[in-house]
Amino acid sequence: MKWLALTLLIFTASEAAAAPVTPSFTTGTVTAYTESTTTVNETIKQIDYQVGDQYSVSGTNINIPGNPTPETNYSVAVQGAPFQFTESYFGPGLTRETFIERTTVIESTTETMSVFSQ
């Protein structure tokens, strides 16, 4: 019985009619405004190591042999004349540490406007 009532309802239903929709405006605008703030905190830690030896010698008015070592004896070339001498030795280990902490604040503003008409 229920099946018969459902079948009759489906076949006897009238079709739906829709009324046309007419907008009641002629022009318009939509404006959107957005503000955002982003904070970026950075920590940079750089540690440099050296695994070998580094030895350097430089100067003026100094007798420097072809392959100097830390045990080399140096002498002034012209006695009594001015001279300059620099000797540097760096062994294996930590050579430099760099620590940087910085904060960057980024502020952004966006404003958009859409204009439409009929």
pTM: 0.41
Count up the domains in the chain and report the number: 1
Beta bridge mates, 114: 30
Q: What is the DSSP letter of 95?
A: E
Beta bridge mates, 110: 34
Segments forming the whole domain that contains residue 63: 37-110
Q: What are 29-64's pLDDT values in tens digits?
A: 899 999 999 999 999 999 999 999 999 999 999 998
Q: Is residue 16 part of a domain?
A: no
Q: Is residue 58 part of a domain?
A: yes
Q: Is residue 31 part of a domain?
A: no
Inter-residue contact 42 to 105 (CB < 8 Å):
no
Q: Is residue 69 part of a domain?
A: yes
pLDDT band at 15 (very low <50, low <70, confident <90, very high): low
pLDDT band at 66 (very low <50, low <70, confident <90, very high): confident
